[in-house]
């Protein structure tokens, strides 16, 4: 099936949201957590965390326009520059999913959705205890995307918590073993199965294809 620009514009709003949220392919499932100065914590699911660079270690995520739910997160990040990014695993995808409901700012999604706060000395924001792979983040900058009033929120990784076994090999960290899940569309969750690992691609070592 082919849809041109006009056909895309003419799609029913919900249908378009459903389709366009799937076109980028599998998206990482992360919980972003923060804390207000008054001590109320906030945690919300994001599928837009993206690797920006390894040195310095930078990650970005896309924040929806003002008025939508994750702004509690952003207000907290601006106030104290601290947040955490936590992988989601199959045991708590349902709890993680419901953090996307538009709870009042006075309610902590940790409590309402049955997730557990965890703190370390060097990070003000809470981690999600249930997560096995998580990062403490220092806010760096937010770049406005003027076409749709979203923001690319940029942060530097200041702490990294992951299973010891991740380092036992010279291969890439195995996301299947850690069992981190992915998202497609707005509501669908996926596990991942490793099928291949190839060497760094040098022009002199490219196989003869065909």
State yes or no: residue 4 binds a copy of itself (CB under 8 A): yes
Distance CA 125, CA 108 (A): 13
Residue keyed to tokens 């291969």? 171
One character per residue 25-64, x = contact with a copy of itself (rule: CB under 8 A): xxxxxx----------------xxxxxxxxxxxxxx-x--
State yes or no: residue 100 binds a copy of itself (CB under 8 A): yes
In 54-187, where does DSSP find H-type helix?
71-80, 93-98, 109-112, 175-178
112-141 residues in contact with a copy of itself (CB under 8 A) are 112-114, 120, 122, 133, 135, 140-141
Write the CB contacts of 132 (distance below 8 Å, at least 6 apart in sequence): 87, 89, 162, 163, 178, 179, 180
Distance CA 114, CA 88 (A): 14
Strand partners, 146: none
CB of 12 to a copy of itself, least distance (A): 11
167-186 residues in contact with a copy of itself (CB under 8 A) are 167, 171-176, 180-182, 184-186
Task: By CB under 8 A, name the one of 32, 33, 125, 154 that touches a copy of itself.
Answer: 154
Q: Which is nearer to a copy of itself, 66 or 203 (CB)?
A: 203
Task: By CB under 8 A, name the one of 10, 78, 119, 191 that touches a copy of itself.
Answer: 191
The three-state secondary structure class of 8 is helix
| CA dihedral sign of residues 122, 124, 125, 129 | positive
Task: By CB under 8 A, name the one of 78, 90, 105, 119 that touches a copy of itself.
Answer: 90
CB of 36 to a copy of itself, least distance (A): 19
């Amino acid at each position: 099936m082919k849809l041109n620009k006009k056909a895309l514009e003419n799609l029913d709003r919900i249908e378009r949201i459903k389709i366009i949220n799937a076109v980028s392919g599998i998206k990482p499932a992360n919980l972003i957590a923060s804390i207000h100065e008054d001590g109320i914590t906030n945690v919300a699911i994001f599928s837009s965390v993206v690797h920006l660079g390894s040195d310095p270690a930078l990650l970005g995520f896309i924040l929806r326009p003002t008025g939508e739910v994750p702004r509690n997160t952003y207000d907290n990040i601006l106030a104290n520059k601290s947040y955490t990014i936590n992988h989601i695993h199959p045991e708590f995808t349902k709890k993680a999913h419901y953090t996307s409901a538009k709870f009042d700012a006075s309610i902590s999604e940790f409590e309402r959705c049955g997730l557990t706060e965890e703190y370390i000395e060097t990070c003000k924001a809470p981690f999600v205890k249930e997560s096995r792979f998580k990062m403490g983040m220092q806010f760096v900058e937010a770049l406005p995307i003027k076409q749709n009033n979203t923001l690319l929120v940029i942060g530097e990784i200041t702490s990294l918590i992951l299973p010891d076994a991740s380092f036992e090999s010279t291969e890439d960290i195995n996301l299947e073993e850690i069992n981190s899940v992915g998202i497609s569309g707005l509501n669908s969750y996926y596990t991942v199965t490793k099928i291949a690992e190839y060497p760094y691609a040098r022009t002199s070592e490219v196989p003869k294809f065909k």
